[in-house]
A and B are shown apart, each in its own frame.
Chain A
């Protein structure tokens, strides 16, 4: 018996290999749109226009005003494993582009008729490449605006079996709409337009913030906004009330470092955080942005890059759960009476006109990464890693598995200025951090207080001339009396005295650090946190002694000077634990690369 020629092991022709790869990468028109939009964003486009015809089966055209390609690059781009986005495998660990596999264009080209027109701004003429079913492209010079236009027509014309799996035109068009919206949510700075069969379907104008883009995407839904920071992980979420929940997680967009991903565990964490307010299987509408260092997330998991793998998936889920649970106003409805609603309702533009009260200023951030204590005072934030373990007396945290890279919060920060009379701007090598000056100073002072207390100063330096006095319950009095020796070591002399009307707490002295505070305010803070852990009491004291920036410019100046005197490493550490009894600190991270690259 002779061996049949077909049974021999042969290298597949590139065209066949591409078609096989296309089976994984290009599933439906929306996958084409996703890959082309990713490319446009990686080309630093400011405007991306997506046009589809026949649900994207007949035509997908993605035009961008990005940097374009030379004729050589354009030809190479249609080859498999050709990419400009990484050079060595180590680049994968620090990837900040959306594409990287170098096979999408080749895969798309192999199952469609593709026309690529591109011109770099500095070139006098551009190039046009046409290919059918992955055949070698025909190249000719072409005119056109700087940027790239890719037309994909007759998708799967050469793979009839795959074509049969496509759904109705409207369904495919809807999938394309979802892909465009997800991309738009990830890139508020980019203008997106979507046209269906020659008619404009969606458009997203350039937005300054994610919140603005979210409002554009969910114009008719009231969303609650909050953000939280847990070690290296930043969570920024805009979530609907339980009443707007849907069956399935389709209405919940998860973006990891701006990349839309599908992650059942994360979606589940969000839903579970709603507690009994959500029936099982239902998920809120909205968006959850997760920002973490690229090294902590593996994007090379899924052919369509729809999934990612976290270095610590459990910690990420826990952090998302905690952030949502602590922030959403209906937390009480599920029995977590101690949780303070910290979310801010986001109303659509037309709802906002008549809104009053605290919700009259929507689209503000409020942190939520902490679990308040029984007394209502916030506990120290529980960081993802050990980054926040700074307050004296804080019990050691259980050891966690070794991390692939240090905390996402920068190792050092340099204070560069004040924004809006209440935020300080701090600079790291590749990002800018904004944090509430008051909370930052509170964290710094609480740490100093815990570390060295009232040391220094002349005898009697901390003695209060008119001691503050406050009636307390027996339980609070006992707790304060028990804490008094610890406080005395820190320079805070607080005693509990009996009286005809019950016990009273008296504040007789406090360290120089708290010298700016009225004794009454300090005592009130001590009494309120009497039954909470010591570090909470210290934070409460520091908070009472720290003016909020908005009220007094000269005091803000003094605060900023105090923070500016910190070593860069100390400032970065302080940022991690920034919190005060008014609630978690307002914090935001602004990556500089996208701005500087532009």
Chain B
């Protein structure tokens, strides 16, 4: 993905203002401004929307392990939504640190660091909408509330405990109230070192932490007007 990129914002306020200036615009408009081509679909360009918004906002692409806006400690998450305002998919947060997971407390966990401060940028995500015609929504600068953090921390303890005890292979996406662990790899052949239940080192499929749709949907519902979610109304009048 080549093309121009905005300079990093110097404050949360600037970041938010920039994000707000994108609201209501189409991905094609953003791409044109940044000199990027719009892919015909996202099957072979997974992550294109996120990268486009990152560039438009000036996120440092090199800082993969840390937050997208390292200086501000803000993680950027685009959130594809359907016409009813429901997230179209789970939201990837970070990779599961296979070996270190059992040694990390919630506070030290990458999950906690990533979710401490998030700039949610809703994007129209219905598959039938051409990629370029999808609109960017109003941004939301978010930190988990005490209740949300308690749920997230509880999930971390449970999931990290299972992985730490060598249960990675038996861990399914059903475990966890807000967070789930699912395979996260470019293809099925990728392997990371992990431990089995006996403490033996094994090669396992890499996994990632994902936020469930129910969790992100609750954030959307709480932060935006419910009927406004009917984007499909655009053409009714």
Contact B228 A515 (CB under 8 A): yes
Does A46 reach chain B (CB closer than 8 Å)? no
User: Which chain B residue shows the least CB distance to A462?
Assistant: B225
Nearest-neighbour CB distance to chain A for B20, whole angstroms, equals 8
Known A-B contacts A460-B223, A508-B23, A516-B227; the reply to A465 vs B138 at CB < 8 A is: yes
Contact B138 A468 (CB under 8 A): no
Query: Which A residues are in CB contact (< 8 Å) with B225?
Result: 460-465, 509-510, 512, 515
Could you tell me the distance between the alpha carbons of A316 and B213 in the complex, rounded to whole angstroms? 65
Query: Which B residues are in CB contact (< 8 Å) with A464?
Result: 138, 224-225, 228
Does A469 reach chain B (CB closer than 8 Å)? yes
Contact A465 B234 (CB under 8 A): no
Could you tell me the distance between the alpha carbons of A516 and B237 in the complex, rounded to whole angstroms? 12
Contact A508 B233 (CB under 8 A): no
Does B207 reach chain A (CB closer than 8 Å)? no
**Count, chain B residues at interface, CB 8 A:** 29
Contact B227 A466 (CB under 8 A): no
Nearest-neighbour CB distance to chain A for B48, whole angstroms, equals 19
Does A518 reach chain B (CB closer than 8 Å)? yes
Could you tell me the distance between the alpha carbons of A192 and B207 in the complex, rounded to whole angstroms? 92
Contact A515 B23 (CB under 8 A): no
User: Which chain B residue shows the least CB distance to A459?
Assistant: B223
Could you tell me the distance between the alpha carbons of A461 and B225 in the complex, rounded to whole angstroms? 4
User: Which chain A residue shows the least CB distance to B124?
Assistant: A466
Nearest-neighbour CB distance to chain A for B124, whole angstroms, equals 7
Interface string of B7-28 (1 = CB under 8 A from A): 0000000000000110111000
Our count of residue pairs bridging A and B at CB distance below 8 angstroms stands at: 78
Query: Which A residues are in CB contact (< 8 Å) with B138?
Result: 463-467, 508
Of listed B136, B222, B224, residue having the most chain A CB within 10 A: B224
Instruction: Name A's interface SS.
Output: mixed
User: Which chain B residue shows the least CB distance to A508?
Assistant: B138
Query: Which B residues are in CB contact (< 8 Å) with A466?
Result: 23-24, 122, 124, 135-138, 228, 231
User: Which chain B residue shows the least CB distance to A493?
Assistant: B138
User: Which chain A residue shows the least CB distance to B223?
Assistant: A460
Does A519 reach chain B (CB closer than 8 Å)? yes
Contact B237 A521 (CB under 8 A): yes
Does B226 reach chain A (CB closer than 8 Å)? yes
Does A497 reach chain B (CB closer than 8 Å)? yes
Interface string of B112-146 (1 = CB under 8 A from A): 00000000001010000000000111100000000
Contact A465 B24 (CB under 8 A): no
Contact B24 A518 (CB under 8 A): no
Contact A469 B122 (CB under 8 A): no
**Count, chain A residues at interface, CB 8 A:** 28
Contact A465 B85 (CB under 8 A): yes
Could you tell me the distance between the alpha carbons of A524 and B220 in the complex, rounded to whole angstroms? 25
Interface string of A466-505 (1 = CB under 8 A from B): 1111000000000000000000000000000100100010
Nearest-neighbour CB distance to chain A for B17, whole angstroms, equals 10
Known A-B contacts A463-B138, A464-B138, A544-B237; the reply to A469 vs B25 at CB < 8 A is: yes
Contact B228 A506 (CB under 8 A): no
Does B81 reach chain A (CB closer than 8 Å)? yes
Does B177 reach chain A (CB closer than 8 Å)? no
Query: Which B residues are in CB contact (< 8 Å) with A463?
Result: 138, 223-225, 228
Nearest-neighbour CB distance to chain B for A339, whole angstroms, equals 25
Of listed B23, B135, B229, residue having the most chain A CB within 10 A: B23
Nearest-neighbour CB distance to chain A for B209, whole angstroms, equals 25
Known A-B contacts A518-B230, A520-B234; the reply to A460 vs B24 at CB < 8 A is: no
Nearest-neighbour CB distance to chain B for A338, whole angstroms, equals 23
Contact B237 A465 (CB under 8 A): no
Query: Which B residues are in CB contact (< 8 Å) with A462?
Result: 225, 228
Query: Which A residues are in CB contact (< 8 Å) with B170?
Result: none
Contact B236 A518 (CB under 8 A): yes
Contact A467 B137 (CB under 8 A): yes
Query: Which A residues are in CB contact (< 8 Å) with B24?
Result: 466-469, 504, 506
User: Which chain A residue shows the least CB distance to B134?
Assistant: A466
Contact A467 B23 (CB under 8 A): yes
Query: Which A residues are in CB contact (< 8 Å) with B223?
Result: 460, 463
Interface string of B198-237 (1 = CB under 8 A from A): 0000000000000000000000101111111111011011
Query: Which B residues are in CB contact (< 8 Å) with A465?
Result: 81, 85, 122, 137-138, 220, 224-225, 228-229, 231
Query: Which B residues are in CB contact (< 8 Å) with A521?
Result: 233, 236-237
Query: Which B residues are in CB contact (< 8 Å) with A524?
Result: 237
Query: Which A residues are in CB contact (< 8 Å) with B85?
Result: 465
Contact among A460, A506, A517 for B224, CB-based, below 8 A:
A460
Query: Which B residues are in CB contact (< 8 Å) with A469?
Result: 23-25
Query: Which B residues are in CB contact (< 8 Å) with A460?
Result: 222-225
Known A-B contacts A463-B138, A465-B85, A508-B23; the reply to A518 vs B226 at CB < 8 A is: no
Could you tell me the distance between the alpha carbons of A263 and B24 in the complex, rounded to whole angstroms? 59
Query: Which B residues are in CB contact (< 8 Å) with A506?
Result: 23-24
Could you tell me the distance between the alpha carbons of A461 and B220 in the complex, rounded to whole angstroms? 11
Query: Which B residues are in CB contact (< 8 Å) with A500?
Result: 33
Could you tell me the distance between the alpha carbons of A464 and B81 in the complex, rounded to whole angstroms? 13
Nearest-neighbour CB distance to chain A for B194, whole angstroms, equals 40
User: Which chain A residue shows the least CB distance to B231?
Assistant: A466
Could you tell me the distance between the alpha carbons of A508 and B223 in the complex, rounded to whole angstroms? 13
Interface string of B64-85 (1 = CB under 8 A from A): 0000000000000000010001
User: Which chain A residue shows the least CB distance to B138?
Assistant: A467
Extra inter-chain contacts (15) besides given A464-B138, A466-B23, A506-B23, CB under 8 Å: A463-B223, A465-B85, A465-B122, A465-B229, A466-B24, A466-B122, A466-B137, A466-B138, A466-B231, A467-B23, A469-B24, A508-B23, A512-B225, A517-B233, A521-B237
- 12 CB contacts below 8 A, A to B, read A460-B224, A463-B224, A465-B122, A465-B137, A465-B231, A466-B122, A466-B228, A500-B33, A508-B138, A509-B225, A516-B227, A518-B237
